[in-house]
Amino acid sequence: MDDDPKIVDLVRLYLERDGYQVFTARDGQEALEAARQKHPDLIVLDLLLPRVDGLEVCRFLKGESEVPVIMLTAKSTEEDKILGLESGADDYITKPFSPRELVARVRAGLRRGGPSPSQAPSTLQYGDLVIDRRGHEVTLLGRTVELTPTEFKLLETLADEPGRAFSRLELLDRVFGSHFDGFQRTVDVHIKNLRKKIESDCLNPIHIKTVFGVGYKFNGAEGEGRNAP
């Protein structure tokens, strides 16, 4: 979804060569309508769209589904990237970009969008927080918590090894893949969004603890964790 026809054609060409079915939109309103009608597996979205800008489109989409979103934009400052990620984007690529890298990011985004076969049979449970890998779902106090694919992967990674301190660099590599060249602060943004959804008090979190000078760890002390088939 981009307002530059040349970029749209280039992205379409490379993705179709890789075997993907591609739908395009020329402005934000058309992008929202296409996403709601076509239910895509992943969306590549420009920030600077006519009618409805990319940030608003991303917020609407994330409020309605868990579809992975890759921002593709000329805005390259750290503040712009943080703003895009805070709107719910799962990845961020700046122009000019390598079409081959974009295809690689799309592949990675689709892999993160669903549970791997080896993980699917099990469930992680810590007190009232349940992470269902098979259903790719998180519940808290019996209620479903709507997470983006990136937030789910981040929570799953931390909860897999409760008590272990992960550096931001480790989390970037595990959640985004070694290809990701973004800022380590990206992790902080997603942790902030995740805490809003699973913590009753974000200033005094129970589940995801900050390890000062290192990164983050999952606290399993609130309930006995278990893997269930």
- Can you count the helices (H) and strands (E) in the chain? 8, 11
pLDDT digits (tens), the chain, 229 positions: 656 788 888 888 988 888 788 888 888 898 899 888 888 889 999 888 888 888 899 988 888 888 889 988 887 777 777 888 888 888 888 888 888 888 888 888 877 654 444 443 378 888 899 999 888 899 999 999 999 988 999 999 899 888 888 888 888 877 876 555 556 688 899 999 999 999 999 999 999 999 998 899 999 764 444 544 3
> Rounded to whole angstroms, what are the CA distances from 8 to 3, 49, 59, 116?
8, 12, 22, 31
Residue 117 lies in a domain: no
Backbone CA torsion sign across 56, 59, 62, 68: positive
Q: Does residue 145 sit in the same domain as residue 197?
A: yes
Contact 225, 125 (CB under 8 A): yes
Read off the CATH number of the domain in which 63 is found.
3.40.50.2300
Q: Does residue 157 sit in the same domain as residue 98?
A: no
Cα(72)–Cα(61) distance, integer angstroms: 16
Which domain-ending residue is among 64, 88, 112? 112
- pTM score of the predicted model: 0.55
Residue 118 lies in a domain: no
Which domain-ending residue is among 81, 112, 143? 112
Domain extent, residue 217, equals 123-228
The number of distinct structural domains making up the chain is 2
